[in-house]
Structure 1
Amino acid sequence: MKGKSVSILLLIFSFCMAPWVDAQDNRKGSWLPEDGKMSVPDRKSTEVSDFLKSLHGYLRPIVCEYEDVVLKSAKGFKKGKAQVQTSSWSCNINETTVADCPDALDLDITFMITEGELKSGGVALAFDFTGWSRENYVLMPAYVYNGNRFHVETNGYMAPYPSYYYYNKNVPLLFSNSPRLSEERSASKIEALTGNLATPAFCFFSPKEQRGCIILTEQKSHLGNYGMFIEENASQDRATFVVSAPGVRELTAGFGDFGYSGDQACKWTSGDRLRMRFRIYNFEASGIPDLLDKFMNVRKEVTGKNNPRNLCPFSTVTSFTADYKNQVRWLEKGTGKSFYRMENSDGYQLGWVGGLMGTFAMLALDDSLSRERVIQTYDYVVSNMRGKSGYFYGSFRDGKVGSDRDNIPDAALVRKNSDALFFMMKHLLLFEQQGYGDLVKQEWKDAARALAQAFVNTWVKNKDLGNYVNAATGEIIIYHSTSGAIAPAGLVLAARYFKENSFLKTAMEIAGYFYDDYVAGLGLTCAHSGDIMQDADADSAYGFMESLMALYYATMDKKWLSMAQTTAHLAATWTLSYDYEYPPGSTLYDLKANTAGAIWASVQNKHAAPGICTSSGDYLFKLFRATGQVRYADLLRDIIHAHAEVMETPGRSTTGMGPGTSMERIQTTDADGKGAVGVILKTSNGWTEDCGLLMSLEVPGIYVQTDQDVLYVFDHLKVEVVCRNGDEVTLRIANPTRFDAATAVFAERSSSAGKPLGYCNFTQWKKVLVKAGNIVEVVIKATDDIKIASKAKC
């Protein structure tokens, strides 16, 4: 969920929600062993127990009996047998060591009811851990970060901050009312279905044992999505991780609240069986970064490699979406009142969902109409939304600036101002790159410099950027968070543009603080969206990557690259790692959509989206180029192709709003209701359109190193190396899509890859035209000299 573009469904849900239901109102049933002991009397699975010994872990297969949605009993097996009422069960566990991976173990488990029946039942595998500690870092990708063990005293979507949080530094982070382990010393339980997670996985890091654990499973069985549960006892020294089939929760988590799940157990009769597959990792880890690095490497090992489809070339995305922007998103109200809308309303919102961000893509088109409209939009924002402090107000409507938080006068979201600073500087650079530096107005420069200085002032005074600031005074209203995750990137560019060293110094200090205290310290970044509390979210992780790569660009210090890698691994936890199986009859099922690469919004807003809000993610390409590690390019490619799966094109309707449009919901959860899974609402979001434009412009369609065996294709094309001849490489490019492609080729020698890219290099990449369904061969030199070849020069 982004900005004010709230669906009618969610509004009704929010306004009609029941009185506060707490996360721990789900403890009518328990997954913990009935005798309070975590050891298993019949430890048939010796190898598993030995494998988990260093983590004090044990395996416990169980048969479940439910009363409606409440777990009434969880019966363990003895010698592979179990008896539940009149039913008899067997459980067969096969363990397999993983070749060349001593820290991994595969499990293949088959449950079978051998006699009788169970009217309301299921099966599950529990991983029980003794020697547990509340200090353990617990991760369920896109759902739970550090156990979500944070302060909560709010309920519902975009809940208000308590008044005692205003201008108060001595308050903790404030999360929404979402699934969590208890902040206090008490028992707690987290409930989920696999659709709630970007990867079906449990992960934790034990500081005491200096070890990490990752438990991977599949999305579903023939009974539907698995249930995934974590439960702690009251003293928080024991914990159980459970995967169940079918998934039966007491409560379903909504957008900051809870409701009755409506999940159903099933009837089992003699001969029914169910198979589960797992991979477990138990490895040495000195900190959260080690856990995240491991996760980045193994997240697709059980669900398997995804299958990105070639649907729509970058150049077609650019054409369709830019046309839509100029035809529909332009609001013409005369001199001084006209601007590019970033939403479906006529108000203006800065940053976050596109204000002064999508205009960068329109400026990059380098045509007179779009350029003039970008200039008008800039004039509109700078003349109407600047605060006395140097910060901008977050919104402007009907001739008045607005507060970003109801009941808090003059509140401006730090993230919005961070986006604004970064993209203002990019605009100024692009105007100059295109040869139109004379069109840049002094008041724009003054506004950008004043905004950079406002960030410096806030940091120097508070050693914090806060979550919300007073746009009039510059004072922090709500403290803490990484809402300013992208601010260091803006300060880096401002330091270069204005030749002001204090901007770069401040950027380095802020980035070091965010990394140490949040990424490495808490294992999350947070509060980057204007409609959440200080929840962990994806935007801030990706945004912080932008800052870290900017610092590498400015300093060539590889410590920023190392931090960027860890942050990329964190960002990947928010990104759908496999092609989710949607229910028959849903929009995404009918489209046969492969949506690996969709990005979850936040702990509060339980849905994925087609893109990084709001960015091309080109810093992932820069990280791939700088490190040579393909996993970062793979992540970016997945994100790009997920966007194409939901963008409307002629003859392939998704939003119903026209070619180039897209909608922010890729819904794999039932947070909007069970009938909402896989449904694309009939509307379009400006920020997802901006993502499509930015990705199609700022990321090369084809990247090749002419002197090394390095080739990567981001565009919707099939490319292979025909041959290499000295410093030339011949490529065969096939276009399997319905649309002609003019793809950008970025070629260089390997020695150049260590030099950071700037922010307008994409304007210099050469284009190769490949007609729909055609194949061409091209000869490429590192100088970007590209020639169409009649045949390979080898």
Structure 2
Amino acid sequence: MRYIFFFFFHYFPKQALLLVMILLLVQAKTKAQIPDDIAMWLKKNNADIRYSINQYDFSRFNVLIDHASSALNGYLQRQDFKGSTWEVYSKAEHANNIQDAVDFSIRFKCISGHLRQSAVAADIDFSSWSEKNYVLLPGAVYNGNRFEWRRLRYSPKLYEVQDIGIDKPIIVSDIPKLSESGGVSRIQERSGSMSTPAIGFRADSSAKGIWILTHQGNSLGDYGINIEENRARDHAIITINSPVVHEQYTYFANDAHYPSQDKPHDFNAGDEVIITFRMYGFEAPEVQSLFNKLTIIRKDLVGDSSITQKLTFSESMRTLEDKFNKVNFVDKYGYYSVGLRENFLQDWQIGWTGGMISTYPLLFAGNAETRKNVLRNFDWLFLNGISPSGFYYDAGKDGTIWYGGDIRKPHTHNWHLIRKSADAVYYITKQFMLMQKMGVYVKPYWKDGNKKVCDAFVNLWYKNHQIGQFIDSNTGEIVVGGSSSGGILPAALALASQYYRNPAYMDVAKQVAGYYNENFTRKGITCGGPGDALQNIDSESSYALVESYTTLYELTGDKQWLNDAENAARQFSSWVVSYNYKFPAKSSFDQIGIRTTGAVYANTQNKHAAPAICTFSGQALLKLYRFTGDVFYIGLLYDVAHNMPQYLPHPENKLEDATYGYMSERISMTDWQGLDKIGALLKMSTWAETGLMLTNIEIPGLYVCPDDNYFVAFDSIVVTVKSQDEKQLILQLKNPTKVVADVSVLEDKAKNKIMGENYLYGCEKVNLKPGETKELIFKKSVLGQGKQD
């Protein structure tokens, strides 16, 4: 070869020089030219990035029939594919002021021809992979959803004999998942399925972490976000595609093998689309590291996360109190149903969807008639509502019929979701404490009945050293074991220990909390909270553990519980929507102007966000801020609390023709019930109403730390600093809504002092008419140089 070059240079020097220049230019255009430091960074993280242009056969449910792919080189690349010609330009650069983060952009332009039924994609190939890696798609996939699974229709209950028992593994429904037992291992999601459009993992062997964040989508709508493992499980490819195309199957309500409905795009000459994403690499000594990193970056790329101010907390409470008295209260027997009683699920269920939870805010903030109804509810429950096992009956109907399980599934006869009794003990004990403050007589048989349930929990723990998910209402035996279904139990028993002055309850509370921390929180999974989702990973038990660990720290002062609470809170944040989803044009939520920041995804089976935490106010997040000074927790609570009122139909907040006071639980940002349901308004009455009422009584409308010049307005008001000096802080409050605001004000001058329960009872209230402005003066106890929000 060198003799040939010598011949050309000797006899045709000009032509030879031109040839060399052409060869060098071609090499420069084809050689990977991503900046050397970024190339080394990718290599350090065992990653290689390619682009691809894919063609599908829609008639065969989007089977991939052909594709063209090439490594990114950082320059303009030309790609001929199936009669079309493309220019692909890629760019990689370090993210501004962010260590170990790189921004990637890939622009695809069809410059000639056309390509039907297609999509473009960025493929990130990770080597040195292991199926031990923890994979996380916030709100959708936890530990790869790599659990045993069963294909059961909604509402699923374990059925086979071999699946039912005390020592069985976590079993989930048929959801998008990586395989736990060999075979095809692939997850195909769309960006709206996640609380933040992102995918991350912790590499087990290297203790390194990766996060890939992107936007919701581009001009072609939502992105697809996929991960696929190879047969040997030593490689995995993460793909961001545009538009979303599920190959062959998509997820549809308990069925991950539903035929794909996506329509690939028809590209013509001149069409252009851009895929952008940011990739982070970091040290991840434990699974918790993955969640900790997410809390820092979850809002980095999402864009708009602004809130809306439509209804105030107090007006929402007035609307719901009126609705509960007119529609939910069954005067014949004296109880508040959890719904409209249109079916057996909407009559009576204790805990979970609102039974003996809704009575708490109604007692706290209701009028005389309401409080009378609440006390009748206590009479009704404690006369017959405790089962032979000592736990509360799971459900009931028509005021006199008590039962457990799902009447549509006879084998579940007498099953009791253990979370329901734990919820009941927690909220009933809080109400007993409130009654003491209010001067309301607590009848001995109410007190004894609740204590009987506490004792049943103590016996259950010492017999099994777990709480299980379902127990038999007659015998008290665990039917379905495992799970963190009873995540609120440590808080419930800790409060009961205070109220009943029984140290044994606190001992068990600590033991149960330790069990949950070791078996669930430390592993980055929580499950079993909902009664209709098998043991799918869920947000409800996730938050319940935040409340439990925080309560234990508050009552014991043991820093270990504070550490556990912080870990649990950061895990819970992965369920909270971090941005305002752009709904399809002309969908109900698009027309209404719904903003999704602060919505809470339900679980990995029921893939919708909800207006509230089921069924809590989020007060533990405020307490965590006070204990740690970390504004992340109070910011997260701000998003959740501010998100809620916009979903409540009201004369000043009309949601199409939805009935005033009927608040839906569903915010559909994804296609789990069909593409046409994204952004659809489901007109129904749900537990979300109770969540909003709890927020009214447990989250202050205005939280102020005068010494720090710090404040947060949780309610729908605008607060600004009028003046501040060494002696005082003057704030101006304005009501921008068209309804009255009775703003509860919590002035915090002693963060080292525990708040306890019912801390807003009797607090200062500021009445603001629509558009009205008032000033509040807060005296300082020390010289403050603090912050404001």
Task: Report the Cα distance in structure 2 between the residues aligned to 1:655 and 1:464, rounded to whole angstroms.
Answer: 47
Which of 56, 60, 72 lines up with 1:66 in the alignment? 56
User: What is the match of residue 722 of structure 2?
Assistant: 722
AA aligned opposite 2:237: T
User: What is the match of residue 28 of structure 1?
Assistant: none
Task: Report the Cα distance in structure 2 between the residues aligned to 1:662 and 1:49, rounded to whole angstroms.
Answer: 51
**Mapped pair 1:344 → 2:340:** yes
**Mapped pair 1:661 → 2:667:** no
Aligned ranges 1:594-613 → 2 under 5 Å: 594-613=595-614
AA aligned opposite 1:592: G
**Mapped pair 1:308 → 2:277:** no
Distance 1:349 1:197, change over 3 A: same
Q: Assess if the C-alpha contact under 8 Å between 2:646 and 2:653 holds in 1.
A: no
Q: How many angstroms does 1:639 deviate by?
A: 1.4
TM-score with structure 1 setting the length: 0.90
Task: Report the Cα distance in structure 2 between the residues aligned to 1:656 and 1:556, rounded to whole angstroms.
Answer: 50
Task: Report the Cα distance in structure 2 between the residues aligned to 1:243 and 1:167, rounded to whole angstroms.
Answer: 39
AA aligned opposite 2:551: A
Q: How many angstroms does 1:323 deviate by?
A: 1.3
Aligned ranges 1:132-171 → 2 under 5 Å: 132-165=129-162, 168-171=165-168
Q: How many angstroms does 1:252 deviate by?
A: 2.0
AA aligned opposite 1:690: T
**Mapped pair 1:195 → 2:192:** yes
User: What is the match of residue 321 of structure 1?
Assistant: 320
Q: Assess if the C-alpha contact under 8 Å between 2:652 and 2:739 holds in 1.
A: no
Aligned ranges 1:512-591 → 2 under 5 Å: 512-521=514-523, 523-591=524-592
User: What is the match of residue 463 of structure 1?
Assistant: 465
Query: SS at the partner of 1:764?
Result: coil
Aligned ranges 1:641-790 → 2 under 5 Å: 641-654=642-655, 656-685=657-686, 687-749=687-749, 752-781=750-779
User: What is the match of residue 22 of structure 1?
Assistant: none
Q: Assess if the C-alpha contact under 8 Å between 2:310 and 2:653 holds in 1.
A: no
Task: Report the Cα distance in structure 1 between the residues aligned to 2:522 and 2:696, rounded to whole angstroms.
Answer: 32
Task: Report the Cα distance in structure 2 between the residues aligned to 1:601 and 1:461, rounded to whole angstroms.
Answer: 32
Structure 1, gaps ≥5 residues long: 1-40, 784-794
User: What is the match of residue 790 of structure 1?
Assistant: none
Q: Which stretch has the larger CA shift, 103-112 or 216-225?
A: 103-112
User: What is the match of residue 260 of structure 1?
Assistant: 259
Q: How many angstroms does 1:780 deviate by?
A: 2.1
Q: Assess if the C-alpha contact under 8 Å between 2:741 and 2:770 holds in 1.
A: yes
Task: Report the Cα distance in structure 2 between the residues aligned to 1:552 and 1:782, rounded to whole angstroms.
Answer: 28
**Mapped pair 1:424 → 2:421:** no
Distance 1:350 1:568, change over 3 A: same
Aligned ranges 1:629-644 → 2 under 5 Å: 629-644=630-645
Distance 1:175 1:510, change over 3 A: same
Distance 1:254 1:167, change over 3 A: closer
Aligned ranges 1:448-459 → 2 under 5 Å: 448-459=450-461
Distance 1:566 1:42, change over 3 A: farther
User: What is the match of residue 400 of structure 1?
Assistant: 401
AA aligned opposite 1:758: G
Identity %: 32
Q: Which stretch has the larger CA shift, 599-608 or 623-632?
A: 623-632
AA aligned opposite 1:723: S
* 1:413-451 deviation digits (Å, cap 9, x = unpaired): 011111011011011001001121x2x111111121111
Q: How many angstroms does 1:300 deviate by?
A: 1.1
Distance 1:114 1:202, change over 3 A: same
**Mapped pair 1:493 → 2:486:** no
Q: How many angstroms does 1:672 deviate by?
A: 1.6
Structure 2, gaps ≥5 residues long: 1-29, 782-789
User: What is the match of residue 34 of structure 2?
Assistant: 45
AA aligned opposite 2:734: A
User: What is the match of residue 413 of structure 2?
Assistant: 409
Query: SS at the partner of 2:149?
Result: coil
Query: SS at the partner of 1:576?
Result: coil
Which of 174, 178, 181 lines up with 2:175 in the alignment? 178
Task: Report the Cα distance in structure 2 between the residues aligned to 1:74 and 1:566, rounded to whole angstroms.
Answer: 43
Q: How many angstroms does 1:53 deviate by?
A: 2.3
Q: How many angstroms does 1:747 deviate by?
A: 0.9
Q: Assess if the C-alpha contact under 8 Å between 1:706 and 1:727 holds in 2.
A: no
User: What is the match of residue 506 of structure 1?
Assistant: 508
Q: How many angstroms does 1:170 deviate by?
A: 3.4
User: What is the match of residue 5 of structure 1?
Assistant: none
User: What is the match of residue 476 of structure 2?
Assistant: 474
**Mapped pair 1:76 → 2:69:** yes
**Mapped pair 1:245 → 2:247:** no
Task: Report the Cα distance in structure 2 between the residues aligned to 1:490 and 1:782, rounded to whole angstroms.
Answer: 36
Task: Report the Cα distance in structure 2 between the residues aligned to 1:229 and 1:180, rounded to whole angstroms.
Answer: 11
AA aligned opposite 1:188: S
Query: SS at the partner of 2:730?
Result: strand
Task: Report the Cα distance in structure 2 between the residues aligned to 1:155 and 1:52, rounded to whole angstroms.
Answer: 42
Larger radius of gyration: 2
Q: Assess if the C-alpha contact under 8 Å between 1:459 and 1:465 holds in 2.
A: yes
Task: Report the Cα distance in structure 2 between the residues aligned to 1:574 and 1:676, rounded to whole angstroms.
Answer: 21
User: What is the match of residue 116 of structure 1?
Assistant: 113
Task: Report the Cα distance in structure 1 between the residues aligned to 2:282 and 2:67, rounded to whole angstroms.
Answer: 30
Say what the alpha-carbon RMSD is for the aligned residues: 1.7
**Mapped pair 1:57 → 2:57:** no
* 1:654-684 deviation digits (Å, cap 9, x = unpaired): 2745433311111111222221111112222
Q: Assess if the C-alpha contact under 8 Å between 1:748 and 1:781 holds in 2.
A: no
Task: Report the Cα distance in structure 1 between the residues aligned to 2:253 and 2:465, rounded to whole angstroms.
Answer: 32
Q: How many angstroms does 1:167 deviate by?
A: 6.0
Q: Assess if the C-alpha contact under 8 Å between 1:182 and 1:188 holds in 2.
A: yes
Task: Report the Cα distance in structure 1 between the residues aligned to 2:754 and 2:93, rounded to whole angstroms.
Answer: 44
Query: SS at the partner of 2:670?
Result: coil
Task: Report the Cα distance in structure 2 between the residues aligned to 1:148 and 1:574, rounded to whole angstroms.
Answer: 15
Task: Report the Cα distance in structure 1 between the residues aligned to 2:780 and 2:758, rounded to whole angstroms.
Answer: 18
AA aligned opposite 1:210: A
Task: Report the Cα distance in structure 2 between the residues aligned to 1:432 and 1:657, rounded to whole angstroms.
Answer: 39
Q: Assess if the C-alpha contact under 8 Å between 1:700 and 1:714 holds in 2.
A: yes
* 1:462-497 deviation digits (Å, cap 9, x = unpaired): 111000011222211100000000011100001111
Task: Report the Cα distance in structure 2 between the residues aligned to 1:283 and 1:105, rounded to whole angstroms.
Answer: 12
Q: Assess if the C-alpha contact under 8 Å between 1:48 and 1:59 holds in 2.
A: no
AA aligned opposite 2:571: L
Task: Report the Cα distance in structure 1 between the residues aligned to 2:663 and 2:771, rounded to whole angstroms.
Answer: 25
Q: Assess if the C-alpha contact under 8 Å between 2:173 and 2:536 holds in 1.
A: yes
Q: Which stretch has the larger CA shift, 185-194 or 572-581?
A: 185-194
AA aligned opposite 2:226: F
Distance 1:185 1:44, change over 3 A: farther
Which of 104, 123, 139 lines up with 2:101 in the alignment? 104
AA aligned opposite 2:482: H
Q: Which stretch has the larger CA shift, 48-57 or 502-511?
A: 48-57
